[in-house]
């Protein structure tokens, strides 16, 4: 068996356990279950037996977004820069492999809207997507926001867009969606792609469970940082 077959088996295990026992199982936990079923102490050990060492860093891309000239409104909008990583992301989103966390950032003077819009238009066609309700900037209204988010999740979306994440409260809900096996897209304001990663880790300070979940995403090539430069 190859890695893809083991992952497919994990997906089946996850669905079966949740259906029969009513116990929530994350994608990472399902991978560990499959590894132990095949006499490996961990998923990493199973990957190693296949001659594939898990990556230790997330996939990062600094991109520009080429927009249509004003006299060509129908021209295609496309990414420019780190095309290989963008292609990897597109294949993952369209193949049904889940979950993933996609962090789209831009400088304080910039905007992530072009990259986010392009992601939705070109990579998420014909898939169920939900926008999370705008998060409150203070603790006031958090309970109402969480209830609105639960209502949005009833559509059972494949992808959830949270917009700008500025608090650990919102990040908690982001990680819950990832643990449920969804693709999650968030925005950060950052100077560059490395600064975006630092900000995400700072938001997770004190929560080792989420840090471990991030590491699992990295090992499964499912954590992406895309920094948007100046639009062409």
Give the CATH number, domain containing residue 119: 3.40.50.300
Q: 41 and 63: one domain? A: no
Q: 96 and 117: one domain? A: yes
The 3-state secondary structure of 116-163 reads HHHHHHHHCCCCCEEECCCCCCCCCCHHHHHHHHHHHHCCCCCEEEEE
In this structure, how many other beta carbons lie within 10 angstroms of the beta carbon of residue 102?
Answer: 24
Q: 148 and 95: one domain? A: yes
Residue 54 has pLDDT above 70, yes or no: no
The 3-state secondary structure of 64-112 reads EEECCCCCCCCCCCEEECCHHHHHHHHHHHHHCCCCEEEEEEECCCCCC
Is 98 among the domain residues?
A: yes
Q: 63 and 39: one domain? A: no
Q: 192 and 220: one domain? A: yes
The mean pLDDT of 68-72, rounded to a whole number, is 55
Write the CA distances from 6 to 38, 40, 99, 147, integer angstroms: 10, 12, 15, 36
Which of 134, 131, 180 has its CA nearest to residue 160? Answer: 131
Q: pLDDT over 70 for what percent of the chain?
A: 87
pLDDT digits (tens, 9 = 90+) for 137-190: 666 788 889 899 999 888 888 889 998 888 888 898 999 899 888 889 999 999
pLDDT at position 174, please? Answer: 92
The mean pLDDT of 203-223, rounded to a whole number, is 84
Q: 33 and 94: one domain? A: no
The domain of 202 spans: 59-228
pLDDT digits (tens, 9 = 90+) for 113-139: 778 877 777 777 666 778 888 877 666
- Of 49, 69, 87, which residue constitutes the final position of a domain? 49
Q: 125 and 211: one domain? A: yes
Residue 52 has pLDDT above 50, yes or no: yes
Tally of domains in the chain: 2
Is 54 among the domain residues?
A: no
- Using only C-alpha atoms, what is the Rg of the chain? 18
Q: How far apart are CA 40 and CA 118, in angstroms?
A: 41
């Amino acid at each position: 068996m190859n890695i893809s077959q083991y992952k497919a088996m994990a997906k089946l295990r996850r669905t079966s356990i949740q259906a029969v026992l009513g116990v929530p199982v994350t994608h990472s936990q399902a991978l560990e279950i499959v590894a132990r079923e095949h006499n490996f102490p961990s998923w990493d050990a199973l990957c190693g037996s296949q001659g594939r060492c898990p990556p230790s860093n997330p996939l990062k891309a600094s991109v520009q977004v080429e927009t249509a000239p004003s006299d060509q409104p129908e021209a295609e909008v496309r990414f420019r820069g780190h095309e290989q990583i963008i292609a990897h992301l597109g294949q993952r989103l369209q193949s049904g492999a889940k979950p993933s966390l996609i962090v789209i950032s831009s400088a304080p003077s910039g905007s992530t809207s072009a990259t986010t819009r392009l992601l939705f238009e070109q990579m998420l066609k014909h898939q169920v997507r939900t926008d999370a309700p705008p998060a409150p900037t203070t603790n006031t209204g958090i309970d109402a926001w969480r209830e609105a988010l639960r209502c949005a999740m009833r559509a059972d979306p494949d992808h959830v867009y949270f917009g700008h994440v500025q608090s650990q409260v919102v990040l908690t809900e982001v990680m819950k969606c990832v643990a449920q096996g969804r693709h999650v897209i968030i925005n950060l304001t950052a100077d560059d792609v490395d600064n975006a990663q630092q900000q995400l880790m700072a938001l997770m300070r004190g929560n080792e469970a989420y840090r471990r979940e991030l590491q699992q995403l990295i090992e499964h090539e499912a954590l992406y940082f895309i920094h948007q430069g100046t639009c062409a």
